[in-house]
Amino acid sequence: MNKLSALFLLIHFSVFVQAQKLEVGQLTCNYKQNPIGTDVLQPQFSWKLSATERNVMQKAYELRVASSDKDLLNGKNLVWQTGKVNSDQSAHVIYKGSALQAKQRYYWQVRVWDNNGKASDWSVVNFWEMGLLSPKDWSAKWIQTARDTEGKVGPAPMFGRSFTVAKEIKNARLYITAHGLYEAKLNGKKIGDHYFTPGWTSYHKRLQYQTYDVTQALKAGKNTALVTIGDGWYRGNLEFNNKRNLYGKEVGLLFQLEIEYADGKKETISSDQDWKTSFGGPVKASDIYNGETYDARLEKNALVQDFNTGDWQQAKVVDLKMDNLVAPLGPTVSKHEHFAPLKVIKTPKGETVIDFGQNLVGWAQLKIKGKAGDTLTINHAEVLDKDGNFYTENLRKAKQENKYILSGTKVDVLEPHFTFQGFRYIKITGYKGKLDSTTVNAIAVYSDMKPTGLFSTSNPLLNQLQSNIQWGQKGNFVDVPTDCPQRDERLGWTGDAQVFFKTAAYNMDVAGFFDKWLHDLKVDQHPTGNVPVVIPDVRTIKNAGSAGWGDVATIIPWDFYRAYGDKELLSRQYSSMKAWVEYIRSISKNNLWNSGPHYGDWLFYTMADDRDGKAAITDKFFIAQAFYAHSTQNLINAATVLGNTEDVKTYTELLKIIKKAFLDEYVTPSGRLVSSSQTAYVLALNFDLLPENLRAQAAQRLADNVAAYGNHLTTGFLGTPYLCHVLTRFGYNDVAYKLLLQDTYPSWLYPVKKGATTIWERWDGIKPDGSFQAVSMNSFNHYAYGAIGDWMYRTVTGINETAPGYKEISIAPKPGGDLKNAGAELETMYGKVKSAWSVADGKTKIDIVVPPNTTARVILPGTGNAVVTESNVALNKAKGLRAIKNVDNNTELTAGSGTYHFEY
């Protein structure tokens, strides 16, 4: 063997060994990587394994924590160490070390052993940093402007102070929050890339503060801190009819900058009487619904170095409570995709309109130079009318209008600070110059959720539907799950959130997002157990308790547990779940929930001229009883997981009574329902309200109903999420595919063929003749009907969790319709799951990926007596496969982790 050959073999062998190496990575603490400023006293740690070998399981782990990275790496002075724990748990390992200290950074790492006895190296070092844990950790005081505004619309006030840094800095942290929305700057530069901070919560009970590492933002010598505060959700227009000041009339600031010098000494710059305030900044007015007015000529006032000049006045210190301050759990809002103009349109009315090609949420950014004092007005719209004119009537009283006054001294980079718009089109007035990608762009702004799911098929319309679902989620997940992002509403409607949660959890990592929102749901729940229809609750119990809306209290916590395996969250929400079920029981009569206000099957399809009683109306109390049963079942499920055996017994008996009352009141002896609608049969079957002997005929009636409407759906918000699931479950997968692929009204693809780039609120937001639905309620970005995405992932590509968090997986694709191929990927708590299939020339190919530390039950559809191979070898000889059998014309097997390719 010559030297060259030997070198080649050596390199090849080293690469092979490296490829087979067991590694642990993607460490997270409370769903975040290296978070700073948390107040969770028992953090949860998660990690993922990577290995190219098949059938890899974790058999043990060791985790260690220290307050310095050097100590951690040396294994000394550890705050907590688990030792070798014989367990396959790699998600939600709870910290059980000594008490965590405010403002302290902790470092951690983990190593694992697999089922072959192989040990990984220690992971890279990760960290988390505690924030302020109690009111006594705050030296800052709440400050407000020198003069009261009485909550009237006006300029966004600025708060400022100068201070001196005389020594070398080791590190610096800024802890900050506001009544209103803040934008903080140090030495003229914005701190962080977050928007709409401190976010929207139930402010009187939970007000978030943020923590920033500002070490690099400070400089030797004189420094300036300047914070501008917009009205935001705190005191701006909110709910309906331009209501203002729902949380308070005056904005305020809480600012605590802590500096640690290289010599070990510390200094704190806090909001107090030494701060100054001014109304002379460039943000002349800001409102989430109505937009912002910005005067670029006044930017110099926001760069002031001397707060003793001009109209700066001493800030007013106010004695406000501090016990509602909490660290954030969810992701912050940030900028994402940028869109150049697709085309510039001159409408029939002569208006200049820019089409960005995508209905999005965020704002248009302008880079324009003009004369000092010139005013540009930007209006926003989702659609053009059938004549091609700019259409804003569906915004109701929301102006969605930004005004910019040019400085005249430079190219002004203009974008709003404390508002966002929902739009595809903008209308620009007051500007005569060139409009192209150099002067105007659209920027999507939404909560910083990592994409986790991909779904695609051979059908371009379905691919566009998937895109529409994702963009509906992006646009309505701006700190809270809003119903719509454009009109005078934008509230955290509970019904919309619960029907869409499963789809949301496929598309993106929404764990932190809903963790935060569920906290507000729990604190805003009424002492009676009643649940508001919007969270945070700004409607003060109006129409609360609606079936399918209030049931969010049990539905999302249980579905969250299934998606992420987070037992601690389920435990935290358990009292809320129980209180909701008890509330329903308290108002029920003869075990029937037959009272109270209900939205019913919201926005279901109804015929315009219903002379034969065919309209798809579902009795509201029928729906209420169905959800009463469903919430009780969710409570039983949670009680079982949490070991609350007495509750399991109590609510299992209650469920029997609820179901009997349902049968007695709403079902004939032969199984006919009082409401002969798709939604009625869907809910009865999906929630197992019918005895076994009546289910088949009920499913047949459902399929017949679909056929009677020409293979169209008629369901509203509450029936739609389950429609295709029920059809598939009871043997009508072909009917489910007909509904999915239907492209005439009403259907999922009808809006797609009408040019939609998001999900509409109504099946016929734009009618077949090009006219619009009622302006009082016609959003073109409303994600609820996008709940079909759950069925697309679960059935078309067959990815399901069979154990919480996808510890055990089912991969059972069900090809259908005219699809030639379909594929999906999902990043789970354990890694990537993949399922992709294609059918061509009589041959079926299926590719799957099972992540390490999990197993999958795989069902290969329609194999019959065909010879099935995996990577060109017989199944019984393929590594990682076991329990292979043929059941009902399908091949079933269990697969360990790895990548597999099946053909037959």
DSSP string spanning 515-566?
HHHHHHHHHHS-TTS---SBSS--STTTTTT-TTTTTHHHHHHHHHHHHH--
List the structure tokens of 464: 């566009």
Q: Are 723 and 499 in contact (CB under 8 A)?
A: no
Q: Which of 129, 761, 801, 870 is catalytic?
A: 761
Give the span between the Cα atoms of 451 and 724, in whole angstroms: 25
DSSP state of 433: S
Query: What are the residues facing 902 on neighbouring strands?
Result: 846, 870
DSSP 375-390: EEEEEEESEE-TTS-E
Exposure string (b/e) for 274-289, b if CB count within 10 Å is 16 or more?
Answer: ebbbbbbbbbbbbbbb
Q: List % helix, strand, coil for the chain (3-state, nearest 5).
A: 25, 30, 45
Beta bridge partners of 401: 379
Tell me the longest C-alpha to C-alpha distance in the chain. Answer: 91
At 70, the amino acid letter reads K
Task: Output DSSP code: residue 847.
Answer: E
Whole-angstrom distance, CA of residue 55 vs CA of residue 71: 35
User: Is residue 801 a contact partner of residue 812, using CB atoms and an 8 Å limit?
Assistant: no
Find out whether 879 and 901 touch, Cβ atoms under 8 Å: no
CA 346, 348, 350, 355 dihedral sign is: negative
CB-side neighbour CA atoms (13 Å) of 382: 30
- Pick the catalytic residue: 129, 489, 801, 827? 489
- Can 646 be counted among the known catalytic residues? no
Q: How far is CA 579 from CA 573, 626, 646, 655, 659, in A?
A: 10, 18, 16, 16, 20
Lookup: tokens for 287 = 């409102």
Looking up tokens 């959800």 gives 627
Q: In 437-525, where do the E strands start and end? A: 440-447, 453-457, 477-478, 480-481
Residues in the chain: 904
Dihedral of CA 779/780/785/786: which sign?
A: negative
Q: Give the 3-state DSSP-derived string for 287-314, with helices as H, strands as E and coil as C.
A: ECCCEEEEEHHHHHHHHCCCCCCCCCEE
Cis peptide before 348 (omega within 30 of 0): no
Contact 46, 110 (CB under 8 A): no
Sign of the torsion formed by the C-alpha atoms of 128, 228, 294 and 536: positive
H helix count then E strand count, the chain: 16, 48
Q: Whose CA is closest to 469, among 796, 752, 727, 819?
A: 752
| Known catalytic residue at 267 | no
Q: Which secondary-structure segment (H or E) carries 574?
A: helix 567-587
Task: Identify the bridge partners of residue 365 per DSSP, sorted by sequence position.
Answer: 441
Any idea which residues carry the catalytic annotation?
A: 489, 761
